[in-house]
Amino acid sequence: MIILVILFYITIVFFDQISLLKQGLKKDFYVSSALCFISFIIAVLITFNINLPSPAKPLEHLIKFILKL
């Protein structure tokens, strides 16, 4: 399963990230690379059956805080 995750992300980097860099969109490349790296780490952790905490409660608190402003 980990092989599929790695192959999938190699494909993403090859088609998406490299094209951004060739177009000269450096800021977009850096943001996209950071998000891709974070999602890769999460995908690998899920592949190894590591339980990740749900972001539901912190997001709920954030939305309530924003709506009170």
Report pLDDT for 23.
86
Helix, strand, coil percentages for the chain (3-state, nearest 5): 80, 0, 20
DSSP string of 26-45, one letter each residue: HHHHHHHHHHHHHHHHHHHH
The predicted pLDDT at position 38 comes to: 92
Q: Pick from 45, 44, 37: which is nearest to 13 by CA?
A: 37
Token digits for 2?
A: 């980990």
Those residues whose C-beta lies under 8 Å from the C-beta of residue 3, and which sit 6 or more positions away, are: none
pLDDT values of the chain reduced to their tens digit, one per residue, 69 residues: 889 989 989 898 888 888 888 888 888 888 888 988 999 999 999 999 988 888 899 999 999 999 987
